[in-house]
Structure 1
Amino acid sequence: MGGTSKVKGRRRSKRGSTRGDRKALTELPKEPKKNPQGKQSRRKSQDKETETQSKTNYSVRQLLSQATDCMDTFNYELAQKFLQRAIEVEPDNLQVLECSGNLLIEVGELEKAKQCFGRAITLSPDAGHSKYMYMGQLFEGDEAVEYFKTGIELMKKEKERQEKEPEAACADNKTTVVTNGDIASAYCSMAEVYLTDSCLAADAEERCKECLEKAIETDKDSAEAYQIMASYWLSKDDKEKAKKFIEQSLSLWLPKMKAIEEDELSSEGPTFDPLNPCSMTYQNRIGTAKILMELEMNEIAEEILEGLLQEDDQVIQVWYMLGLMNVEKKSVESKAPARFFLTMAKKLYLKLRCDDEPVLLHTEELLSVLGPGEGLDESWLKKQEESDSDVTEEDVLSSEDDSDDDEEKVMDRKRKGKEAEEEKMEH
């Protein structure tokens, strides 16, 4: 990449998150969408009608189905009413308890979520790994590790059972097929505990490395495991080994992403999922870019960040990191893109009402050092327009509530993000 950063057209796709990410530059929340008055009235009318139906003699299965449908459309208030009714009917129903715990996580009631999953564990301690994986995400340190360990053991047993009785596993619609990738991802979650919450423990380094080695042994194609292994070696100031592992991680997903962007993807066999072509979540790829920046592999880092910007231009981290990277180039040509990216990060920060003050303060500090430079900015922005870029300040900062079609797009993006998060938590 040259001194300027070409901002390409956006693709909307799902993004997820991971535990830890070394507690730096965590993803900042978006501002809740405001519906126009007419849509609010129609929505309230529909909710009232559906709530009235919840008071009829629905079975627990029907109540659970209704709650799930409401969660899929992010109508958490109504979903909570369906689940409350289901709990009143069957207070010890495992599916209801796990679904309630999931909902409580979504609305930020983490302590109550712990109670739901804890109750599910008490009722069925030897079956169902997902509740343990959720608890591992909700707790920290040694407690989190113990939950992950139990979840991994249950996944191994379930995978063994599914391999011995494949027909029975396929017939059981309530059982999720367990893969080596799922188990490797759980080991990665354990490793990240040792990189974050338990990093000061005497045996943290040894335990972290052991978890990552098990992850790679379980799934040699786990891009996530190689990425965290690179992070591990960076924490030990061994940049040579860190570079080796991050390159291995990149080899497992970046070429495919490039091919997709250029419409040159050939048949990838039965493992290729056209709906989720990248094995690395949005947040994992941000983590990869951070590692690459630390290793001074800025060209690849910039390429990844620009790809992330195409997918979703509402993530402050990406704008901030692109701005920081251009500042660090220390060239005249890089000042204009640095100002643009950092200015966008600041404006998004204020628009989304974020509360990570250090990011805002550092952004303002960098902008102050760069100075105004209006002429350079205008020249650079003109070049961007000539390169057919469709990412403009007005587009990024505009509200997305002007039409029903816009609302559907927003809900679809939120739904995809929720699905990615649920998949990560379950694994």
Structure 2
Amino acid sequence: MGRIRTKSGKVITSKPSPATVVKEEPSTQSLLSKAQSLITQCNYELSQKFIRRILERDPHHVDARELLGITQLEMGELEDAKKTFQSLLSPTRSTVVPASAHLYLAQLSDEDPNLALKHYEAAVGILHNQLKGKERADAPTDADDSEESEADIRKNIVKVLVAMVEIWMAPTYDLCFDPKAEETCENLLKTAFETDSNNIDALICLSSFRLSQQKPEEAKQAAIQAWSVWKDEEDESKIPAISSRIELTKRFLEVQEYAAALHVLQTIMATDDQDVEAWYLEGWCFYLMAEQAKETNTKIEELSWEELAKDSRDCLENCRSLHTNLEHPDDKLLEHTIELIGQLDSLGIKPTPEEEQQEDDGDEWEDLPDDEDGDGDIDMS
């Protein structure tokens, strides 16, 4: 834009022609934010366009390369994703290797458990360094933010340690037959509790591990402790993820703590009443209770085996319907659901008519006391 003085002495301002206007390039941060937003929207192809614009400016941009790997992973380009995450393992002078790169590579190494364990070990090392403050970038100055950041790192460390225990315990791998498997799992869990003493996922993992050792009482106590951490929590942000609550439900079923399992399932239904696995587990829980009541010729929570079986049938029918409507990928879950429905049908147990279900839904188990379970009384506190 120029200034021109006329013969009369007046100063006028000239407007630039459109051709001379230079459009400001978006900042790297704005491109990164846009790419992240598109990933959240599952628009991976468009997200990649923004990511590649960042990488044209800075081929070694860590966050951009990580996002590129995530989009490739989501699009099923597993080999490309693996190469992208591997490229993050060579740090430059201005960057460090992100723990997330090792975590993704561990998940992509499911056919090689030893390689997966190496990546998990590397991730734990990086996270421990962050916990010590050695490699933490952009350290927050606010005390509350600092505490929250430390808590997040501790939770992430425990998640990795739990993943390592699960690899050692997995029957699909030969590692579970290794003479040092049990001791290794004990040490990993010990480190997990030293890192975060009341971590729910670690307690659930401990319960599973004790079951594998044929120590049902210790497994039950670990599951109860995991539940006690959050069962009276009013802050929804502190309630564990649905996946963790699903696993806790499974542990309760395995140790025959049926009332506790139903309580946990109610919290899942309150969050998502279309969770297919939750409906399956509730149906399976009522089925086990009905089986127990029939075998002992007793009532459980004042319900006969026929009433419990009918509740089971209704839950399983809901599970089957949702599985089909939502195109749920777990075919084995559907197979077992259909098998259980067939067994109930052979016993003469028919589903409740839909109009009756709507009237009675949730009434029978709404006010269960915390100290009762399907096979006796127990203090859950």
The 3-state SS of whatever aligns with 1:170 is coil
2:108 partner letter = L
The 3-state SS of whatever aligns with 2:176 is coil
Per-residue CA shift, 1:108-133, capped at 9, x if unaligned? 33332222111011235954322222
In our comparison, the structure showing a higher alpha carbon Rg is 2
* 2-structure distance, mates of 1:353, 1:144: 30
1:220 corresponds to 2:204: no
Alignment of 1:169-184 (within 5 A): 169-170=139-140, 177-179=149-151, 180-184=154-158
* 1-structure distance, mates of 2:254, 2:334: 21
Cα deviation, residue 150, structure 1: 1.2
Show the counterpart of 2:115: 143
What stretches of structure 1 of length at least 5 have no aligned partner?
1-54, 261-273, 390-427
Cα deviation, residue 342, structure 1: 0.7
Q: Which residue of the other structure, out of 122, 127, 132, is the alignment partner of 1:155?
A: 127
Q: Which residue of the other structure, out of 116, 123, 131, is the alignment partner of 2:101?
A: 131
Alignment of 1:269-418 (within 5 A): 274=235, 276-278=237-239, 280-330=240-290, 331-371=305-345, 373-374=349-350, 377=353, 381=357, 383-384=359-360, 387=363
Cα deviation, residue 224, structure 1: 1.4
Cα deviation, residue 382, structure 1: 5.6
Alignment of 1:219-298 (within 5 A): 219-256=196-233, 260=234, 274=235, 276-278=237-239, 280-298=240-258
Change beyond 3 A, Cα 1:58–1:375: closer
Show the counterpart of 1:102: 70
Cα deviation, residue 316, structure 1: 1.3
* 1-structure distance, mates of 2:309, 2:259: 17
The 3-state SS of whatever aligns with 2:338 is helix
* 2-structure distance, mates of 1:254, 1:110: 39
Change beyond 3 A, Cα 1:60–1:378: closer
**How many matched pairs?**
314
8 Å contact kept, 1:60–1:90: no
Q: Which residue of the other structure, out of 184, 203, 206, is the alignment partner of 2:180?
A: 203
The 3-state SS of whatever aligns with 1:276 is helix
* 2-structure distance, mates of 1:247, 1:329: 19
Alignment of 1:80-99 (within 5 A): 80-99=48-67
The 3-state SS of whatever aligns with 2:238 is coil
The 3-state SS of whatever aligns with 1:139 is coil
Cα RMSD for the two superposed structures: 3.1
Relative to the length of structure 1, the TM-score reads: 0.66
* 2-structure distance, mates of 1:341, 1:115: 45
Per-residue CA shift, 1:210-229, capped at 9, x if unaligned? 10111001211212111101
Q: Which shows bigger deviation, 244-253 or 105-114?
A: 105-114
What stretches of structure 2 of length at least 5 have no aligned partner?
1-22, 291-304, 366-381
Relative to the length of structure 2, the TM-score reads: 0.73
Cα deviation, residue 58, structure 1: 4.1
Q: Which shows bigger deviation, 70-79 or 290-299?
A: 70-79
Percent of aligned pairs with the same residue?
26
* 1-structure distance, mates of 2:328, 2:312: 21
Cα deviation, residue 183, structure 1: 2.2
* 2-structure distance, mates of 1:149, 1:120: 16
2:237 partner letter = N
* 2-structure distance, mates of 1:388, 1:244: 26
Change beyond 3 A, Cα 1:136–1:388: same
1:111 corresponds to 2:79: yes
* 1-structure distance, mates of 2:141, 2:70: 25
The 3-state SS of whatever aligns with 1:354 is coil
Cα deviation, residue 73, structure 1: 2.8
Cα deviation, residue 380, structure 1: 5.5
The 3-state SS of whatever aligns with 1:313 is coil
8 Å contact kept, 2:65–2:85: yes
Per-residue CA shift, 1:45-82, capped at 9, x if unaligned? xxxxxxxxxx9954543322221121233322311222
Q: Which shows bigger deviation, 353-362 or 55-64?
A: 55-64
Change beyond 3 A, Cα 1:106–1:388: farther
8 Å contact kept, 2:317–2:351: no
Change beyond 3 A, Cα 1:127–1:92: closer
Cα deviation, residue 378, structure 1: 6.1
